[in-house]
Amino acid sequence: MTTDETNGEAVEETPPDTFEGTLWPDVNRALSAVDVRPERGALDLIVHLPRKDVIRGLGMLKHDDELHFDYLRSLTAVDNEDEGVDVVYHLYSVSKNHNLTVKTTLANEDKVLETATTVWQAANWLEREVAEMFGVTFNGHPDPRPLLMPEDVDLSDVHPLLKSHPFAEIDVLQGEGLGHDRDAPGDV
């Protein structure tokens, strides 16, 4: 597989992992005011930030002239059932050509987070989608309408991408019930 562009060979897992070769030293310096927990992802470095100062951290990452993460690649969320919902920001720097993933965990009871549109405008629609799919409310979002779900029906408590949301039952069109008679029960 292609190796990470900043380091030569893959570093084997020595406890504790010093992450040398990845962006961790610069990120640690940039985010010194915030307690940060690094982790090694498949391709990029992953950094965990606490909920209350995520936006501050993202702002620092963007305006730090060493890292200069001016491009929000993607913003999404992962539902870990009981450990809460992780909101994931994938960042990229066009000028420096390096990547970083910032994650923060929201407890299931109060899934509230500051909006990232103040940092990047790209986050606008991405946050609207995460809001309607995972039930996360982004304070201060300029346009909190649902993005993909219909507006005319009130689906404010329906969040399809949560694990708790069931899969729709496929109405069985086959089997004994059908074959060729018209008024089969499962007929749609």
Partner 1 sequence: MKGILKSMMVTASTFARKPVTREYPESHRELPERDRAFPLLLWDEDINEPFCTGCHACERACPVECMTVIMKDNPNHTAHDGPSKRRKIIDSFYIDYGRCMRCNICVEVCNFEAIAMNNTWQGHETSVYDRSDLVMDLPQLLAESKAGEIQEWVAE
Partner 2 sequence: MVVEAPSEFETQDLLINVGPQHPSTHGVFRMVLEIDGEVVKDLVPYIGYLHRGAEKLCENNDFRQGIGYMDRTEYLAAHNAELSYVMAVEALGEIEVPERAQWIRMILCELNRISSHFMFLGAFGIDVGVFGTPFIYAWRERETIIDLFEEISGDRMMYAYFRAGGLAWEVPANFENRVREVLASAQQGVKDFDGLLTENEIFIARTKGVGFISAEDAIEMGMSGPTIRASGVPLDIRKTEPYLFYDQLDFEPITANGGDVFDRYIVRLQEISQSIDLIGQCLERLQPGPITPERMPRMLRLPEGEAYIRTEAPRGEYGVYMVSKGGNKPHRLKVRSACLSNLQALKQMSVGQYVADAIIILGSIDIVLSEVDR
State yes or no: residue 173 binds partner 1 (CB under 8 A). Answer: yes
The two tokens of residue 186 are 């499962």
Q: Which helix (H) or strand (E) holds 56?
A: helix 54-63
Contact flags string 104-133 toward partner 2, x per CB under 8 A: ----------------xxx-xxx-------
Residue with tokens 């029906």: 153
* Near partner 2 by CB under 8 A: residue from 64, 105, 146, 184: 146
Give the shortest CB-13-to-partner 2 separation in angstroms: 13
Q: How many residues bind partner 1 (CB under 8 A)?
A: 12
The span from the CA of 86 to the CA of 75, in Å, is 11
Contact 35, 50 (CB under 8 A): yes
State yes or no: residue 179 binds partner 1 (CB under 8 A). Answer: yes
State yes or no: residue 164 binds partner 2 (CB under 8 A). Answer: no
Give the shortest CB-104-to-partner 2 separation in angstroms: 15
Residues pairing with 139 in the sheet: 114
